[in-house]
């Protein structure tokens, strides 16, 4: 269980056991950056949709 904690959790342990060190770090970084941008696109689309609904009178208040 100690190796799992040092590798950054279960996903980190899988990456580091299946891939060489630098490649595992690169894939983990690309995945993290992709998740960040997907989250930001969700926030952006929701703010635009809320603005459009409130502009058209569909959102109460």
**pLDDT value for 52:** 92
pLDDT, block means (10 residues), the chain with 61 residues = 61 83 88 96 95 88 63
Q: How far is CA 45 from CA 11, 32, 39, 49, 53, in A?
A: 29, 20, 10, 6, 12
**pLDDT value for 3:** 56
**pLDDT value for 34:** 96
**pLDDT value for 20:** 87
**pLDDT value for 2:** 57
**pLDDT value for 13:** 80
Residue 61 per-residue DSSP state = -
């Amino acid at each position: 269980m100690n190796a799992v904690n040092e590798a950054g959790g279960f996903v980190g342990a899988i990456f580091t056991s299946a891939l060489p060190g630098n490649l595992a770090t690169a894939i983990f970084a690309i995945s993290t950056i992709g998740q960040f941008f997907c989250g930001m696109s969700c926030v952006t689309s929701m703010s635009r949709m809320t603005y459009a609904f409130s502009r058209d009178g569909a959102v109460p208040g």
